Amino acid sequence: MLKEGDRAPAFRLPADDGGEISLKDLSGKHVVLYFYPKASTPGCTIEANEFRELKREFDKLNAVILGCSADTVQAQAKFKVKQKLNFALLSDPEFSAIEAYDARRMKSFLGKSFLGIVRSTALIGPDGKVEKLWANAKSKGHAAEVLEALKTLQ
C-alpha cells in the first residue's frame, strides 16, 4: 500500500496527444496525478473541469496536473477537446500506474461488487516522493482541496 513519504512509483504512459509522459520527465516539479473511473462521465467531467479552472494557480506553484484512467488515447483526446482541458490525460488500459498507485480496488454499485478505478489522487513532490494521498476523492471540490494542500507544502 502506497503511503505519504514513499517514493512515487515510476510510470511512462501514452497521453491524449499521442506522446508519452513519464514521472522522470517531470523531476523538479510537483505532480498532481489524479485517477478517475471513466472519461466523459458526469463525476469525471466535474472533477476535470475544476482542475481546468484552477490550472493557472497550480502553474504558479510549479505543479503539473495529470489525469489518468484506463480509457484509450482516443477517448482521452475526445474528452480533452470536448471539455477544453488544459492539462494532459494519460491512458493506462493495462492498469500499470493505476495499480501502482492503489487506484484499482473493489467497488460496489447497486449491490454488486466489482474491481474498478477509485477516484483518487497522489500529490508528488519535486523530489519524487508522495507528499499527500487522497485514497477516496469526491469529484466536486477536490481540485480546490489539492490546491490548498499544495499551498501548505510550499
The letter for the amino acid at 106 is: M
CA-CA distance, 78 to 70, in Å (whole number)?
Answer: 14
The one-letter code for the residue type at 25 is D
Quote the cell numbers at residue 8: 512515487
Is 44 a known active-site residue? Answer: yes
Q: Please identify which of the residues 23, 32, 44, 122 carries the catalytic annotation.
A: 44
Rounded Cα gap, residues 18 and 37, in angstroms: 21
Answer whether 47's CB lies under 8 Å from 139's CB: yes
Q: Which amino acids are annotated catalytic?
A: 44
